[in-house]
Amino acid sequence: MSELFTNLTVPFLLAMFLAMNMGGSGTAPAFSAAYGANVLKRTLIPGLFGIMVLAGALIAGKEVSLTLGDGLLDHSYFTPLNTSIILFTIGVSILVANLMGVPQSTSQATVLSIAGAATALDGLNTRKLFYEVIPTWVILPIIAFLMMLSLSKWVFPLLKAKFFTDDYAHLSRHKGLKAILILSSLYVAFSIGANNVANAAAPIASLTANEIGQGSIKNFLPIIILSVLIVAPCFAIGSSLLGHKVTETTGKDIVEVSPFYATIIAVITATLLLVASVTKGIPTSLVQLNGVAFIALSVSKVGFKRTFGKNTVQRFFTIWAIAPVFAYVLTYVLIKFTN
């Protein structure tokens, strides 16, 4: 038992560190709309976020956990050293993005970090990566962009302005809209739990199963649940410590957004993420879906040139491209040198 505890301590601490960073990053797509509309106090957001993330992970997160824990790289490769390296590189890449105020895709960093380890160990499931995961990463943001662009250009203008004004003060006279906005934020947090908790929980679940013994793989689900119960509360801690700056950036720096638009964005992106989670178990980037939807709204208002000329948008795309590649390369190099 002492040896088992020693082998698991560092990976679990790294997983909790990663979960805190994911909490900081994931707060933006979940609550930037409610925060921007001033319908929720800042102090309430971390607690609500943590509760819904835990619920999503326990209710709808199984398939994503299986993908990350065994689908890309066989569970037998998740040794204490390899797992620690994977979690460390993911955590570093997300921390840098959070400190820059850019909501970054933990799912992409996780997948490519595991892929980097798998490449170094000659154990990569290329079919899963290239025929299921990466196509989903391309298709879902396009769907989110086109849906939001179409709605904002041709559907929203037909709705009565008295119900969907751009004035946040209007919200105080429509308690129903405030409730919908809060519920949509909780729904997004639930979807984050269904998809993103596995980024930290799945590797340590596979590691734990290996350390206990091969027979435990047959009872992998209880180990995943235990890992989730340890990791998910760290999302709330990260939200409290790191979430405010990222929420401010996403909610107010790309485009001034009405409560109605913000609610639609939240529902669209969370639904796409939840579908990817429960149908195929594909780790998917909610922060990118959310960011792309905000960009589509900006395009509908001010055009492509002005939108993509904004420093915030350019910084988003730069970090989105660099961070996952950084995670892949760093994991590959570290695994090669230590194995």
Q: Is 253 exposed, middle or buried (0-12, 13-18, 19+ CB in 10 A)?
A: middle
Q: Per residue in 26-39, pLDDT tens?
A: 777 778 767 766 77
What is the C-alpha separation between 310 and 117, in angstroms, rounded?
36
Which of these, 211, 210, 205, lies nearest to 223 by C-alpha position?
205
Q: Residue 236, Cα to own-chain centre: how many angstroms?
A: 14
Model confidence at 251: pLDDT above 50: no
The radius of gyration of the chain's CA atoms, rounded to the nearest angstrom, is 20
Give 100 or 147, the one with higher predicted confidence. 147
pLDDT at 171: 59
Q: Per residue in 259-270, pLDDT tens?
A: 677 778 888 989
Average pLDDT for the chain: 82
pLDDT at 98: 64
Give 335 or 308, the one with higher predicted confidence. 335
pLDDT at 55: 94
Query: Mean pLDDT throughout 2-16?
Result: 81
Structure tokens at 136: 């989903």
Which of these, 118, 287, 126, lies nearest to 196 by C-alpha position?
287
Q: Per residue in 278-317, pLDDT tens?
A: 988 999 988 788 889 888 988 988 888 888 888 878 888 8
**Residue 104 Ramachandran class (φ > 0 left, ψ -120 to 50 alpha, else beta):** beta
pLDDT at 17: 86
Give Cα separations from 214 to 52, 171, 210, 211 (angstroms): 33, 56, 6, 8
Structure tokens at 193: 């739990």
pLDDT at 315: 81
Q: Per residue in 37-55, pLDDT tens?
A: 677 777 888 889 999 999 9
What is the C-alpha separation between 245 and 260, in angstroms, rounded?
23
pTM: 0.86
Q: Per residue in 179-234, pLDDT tens?
A: 888 888 899 899 989 998 998 999 998 888 888 865 555 567 788 888 888 898 89
Q: Per residue in 85-142, pLDDT tens?
A: 999 998 888 777 767 766 667 888 899 999 999 999 999 999 999 999 999 999 999 9
What is the C-alpha separation between 121 and 73, in angstroms, rounded?
9
Which of these, 148, 145, 177, 181, lies nearest to 32 by C-alpha position?
181
Between CA 32 and CA 39, with CA 37 as vertex, the angle to 5 degrees is 95
Provide the residue type at 270 as one letter: A
What is the C-alpha separation between 172 and 248, in angstroms, rounded?
21
Model confidence at 66: pLDDT above 70: yes
Which of these, 279, 202, 283, 258, lies nearest to 33 by C-alpha position?
258
